[in-house]
Amino acid sequence: MVRQHWQGILMGLIIVLAGILFNPFSANAEELHWGFKKAQDEIPPDAGSPFNEILDKHGAIYKGNPEEKTIYLTFDNGYEAGYTESILDTLKKENVPATFFLTGHYLTSATPLVKRMVSDGHIIGNHSYDHPNMANLSAKGMEDEWTRFDKKLKELTGVERTIYVRPPKGIFNEKLLSVGNELGYRHIFWSVAFVDWHEDKPKGKDYAYHELMKQIHPGAVILMHTVSPDNSEALPSFIQDAQKEGYTFKTLDDLIMEYEEIFPVF
């Protein structure tokens, strides 16, 4: 009887341990890492029911209407490497809108470019002030990251505040989404991405172009970084060829209006 009792306890521990090892939503509930299987053949990716349920609960978005050939361009800027001006030139020439998710460091180190983003009509997104792991912060720490950014942005550009936020490295938890909602922020993730953040390891224009073209899909929210020449060089051809395939480029404001069923499309 005693032996059976200890066998039962051991089996219970094994089951619990297996659950911890193979279910990241219980083992690591305080730190979720955004991810999905890349899109192919213009079929939108699916992040899976656990992610979808959490995001839907808090109005967080990573893709748009799967029936509309629309693309939403977003860029993450942590520091300036000399390629953002070219990207802005392309966006202006092609008359394409974008959202730039910036850090506090970028605001203060590349202020003229930030001012140009605003004057060119692009949206400024909040990528936190110090680029920390936001999931590890207290509610007050989360608020400080976002509001410090907004205060500096207003000081430098006159923009009152940001609405769209994106967690550094895609690390988040439900608390982060909830606190953001309470403060009037909306989390925007992405459905198209590739390794493009190594300034010292460029892979060439063709690499970026083909990654974008093979992953695009209706409602794509594209994440790109501006620290490599690859994206800067590939962007003109990508925009032109995507448009030839019937895609249009819209803003995150348009995406939110669709999501909120101001124009019911989902």
Nearest one of 230, 243, 259 to 95, comparing CA atoms = 243
> Which residue in 122, 127, 187, 225 is the catalytic one?
225
Three-state secondary structure of the chain: CHHHHHHHHHHHHHHHHHHHHHCHHHHCCCCEECCCCCCECCECCCCCHHHHHHHHHCCCECECCCCCCEEEEEEEECCCCCCHHHHHHHHHHHCCCCEEEECHHHHHHCHHHHHHHHHCCCEEEECCCCCCCHHHCCHHHHHHHHHHHHHHHHHHHCCCCCCEECCHHHEECHHHHHHHHHCCCEEECCCECCCCCCCCCCCCHHHHHHHHHHHCCCCEEEEEECCCHHHHHHHHHHHHHHHHCCCEECCHHHHHHHHCCCCCCC
- Name, in order, each residue with C-beta under 8 angstroms of 197's C-beta and a sequence gap of 6 or more: 225, 227, 228
Residue 131: active-site member: no
Give me the catalytic one of 76, 150, 196, 230.
76
Told to judge if 89 belongs to the known catalytic residues of this protein, a careful annotator would answer no
Q: b/e map of 178-201 (b: 16 or more CB within 10 Å)?
A: ebbeeeebbbbbbbbbbebbeeee
> Which are the catalytic amino acids?
76, 225
